Amino acid sequence: MANKRQTWGTRLGIIMAVAGSAIGLGNFLRFPVQAASNGGGAFMIPYFVSLFLLGLPLMWVEWTIGRYGGGFGHGTAPGMFHTMWQKNRFIKYFGVIGIFGPLVILIYYTYIESWTLAYSCFAITGRYATATTEGAMQSFLKGFQGLESNSYFSGIGPAYIFFIITFALNLLVIYFGIKGGIEKLCRIAMPLLFICGIILALRVLALGTPDPTRPTWNVINGLGFLWNPDLGALKSAKVWLAAAGQILFTLSVGIGVILTYASYLSKGDDVVLSGLSAVSMNEFAEVIIGGSMIIPAAFAFFGPENILAIAKGGAFNLGFVTMPLIFQKIAFGGFFGCVWFLLLFLAGITSAVSLAQPAIAFLEDEFNLTRKKAVLIFGITTFILCQPSIFFLGNGVINELDFWGGTFCLVAFATIEVILFAWVFGMERAWEEIHHGADMRVPAIYKFIIKYVTPLFLFFILGMWFAQEWIPIMSMKNVSETDRPFVMATRILLLFLFLALAVMVKLAWGRKRKAVNR
């Protein structure tokens, strides 16, 4: 007997959940780095072009595919793709990417999420108060990560404890299901996240000129550094690729998560306004709040000579080194540091549970497992898969997982689904499906954009990637000799994981054929 599929409690709940999936660590850590490193304000031009030609169309496409597939009892891409192109017996295997990608991201994302929980405790207790220089704060972070033994930490024990706590919290939310777990979490976490973000943004904007002896080191000039355009940067394909990648990453499109979330909608639920609302919430969090914090604050305290180097130091350096140092220089720094890391933790946990749901839904829908059994299998498997990210952090494992799960799979999966939606399912049929139960009409121009512009844009990104990056990445050109065995082992692990999921898809469809023939 098939399990009864879960549903969302309210429209607000699903919007909050999709926004929670989209609003993650990338909004507050990755976005400032990408903007500052790719022409400042000039980056925002390809960013918004990508938003309207890639992000928004793909959001509507995924909401619609998800709702359509959910009507046939499928919560993941293999089943959804099969219902859209039943004559092709191989299309379901392309859908494996929609389970594989989120799983790959989750097995390193959970560990990073646990750092934010740990640092929120460190901030309020003054644990890193003696680390008053950039070198000392970096040493504190490396000691916590187990990359070195120093006066702050003697081993990876504290980090592992926080990982266990975070992993358990994620699993607890997932265990209680769509309405009782994920929706309930997001209805609380998302408003709290925005409150934390607004508090921090207002505090940064109130900094003014922290050092009167350096009048040009101020927040206004920091905002100018981030937003004033260097139009010459627009000539670089790298800037356009970075902007497009950021949009895909930040909206969580091309992963498979939104497909799963939308599968729990009913046929008459609006996907047009709901998708637009989720995009709007994400952009407010990223552009308005995220763009008003790290770079302006760092500019005001460290000046124009150091800001670009700080930005190019990467997202971890910004979030776990630069921001704690800044908070130490202001009144009630422990409180604001705690708010900062709480913001990151809320962004992390709402994204992490969304990354877990496709695999859970696959076990429930295609193997008819109960929620309890599905979560147990998922928990044991992912706990084991998380270990390389923890113990081989310094050997390039996370970078490798991030590339395949958080970069390549996003673009590849987005390309497959938009072609399937617009060309195989058919644009006329797709357009009608988008507007079923909608409270507003999508502008007619998007009919053309979804069919032609979005696929061509994605093909351009893939083509540029193959032209510029394929050979160096596959040959591990930029990987040190010491790290190469770890990177190769990671690739082998990912290959086996993908093949295992493909075999599970084959077994699931084999079971269904036997059930039909009885």
Low-confidence ranges of the chain (pLDDT < 50): 1
Contact (Cβ atoms closer than 8 angstroms) between residue 7 and residue 179: yes
Domains contained in the chain, number: 1
Q: Does residue 2 fall inside a structural domain?
A: no
4 falls within a domain: no
Distance of CA 373 to the CA centre of its chain: 26
pLDDT reported for residue 451: 96
pLDDT at 518: 62
Structural domain span for residue 81: 11-513
91: in domain:
yes
Q: What is the CATH number of the domain that holds 226?
A: 1.10.4160
Q: Is residue 493 part of a domain?
A: yes
Q: How far is CA 509 from CA 137, 160, 513, 514, 516, in A?
A: 52, 39, 6, 9, 11
pLDDT of 517:
64
Contact assessment for residue 454 and residue 285, using Cβ atoms and an 8 Å cutoff: no
- What's the token pair of residue 411? 């673009």
Cross-strand bridge partners of residue 229? 40
User: Looking at the domain assignment, is residue 297 inside a domain?
Assistant: yes
Predicted local confidence at residue 270, as pLDDT: 92
Neighbours of 332 (CB within 10 A): 11
Which residues does 503 contact at the CB level (< 8 Å), separation at least 6? none
- Torsion angle of the four alpha carbons 330, 288, 31, 457, in this order, in degrees rounded to the nearest 10: -170
Residue 251: inside a domain: yes
- Residue 160 to residues 157, 168, 304, 396, Cα–Cα distance (Å): 5, 12, 37, 19
Query: Whole-structure pTM over 0.85, yes or no?
Result: yes
Tell me, yes or no, whether 504 lies in a domain: yes
Residue 162: what residue type? F
Residue 5 within a domain: no
Helix (H, G, I), strand (E, B) or coil at 157: helix
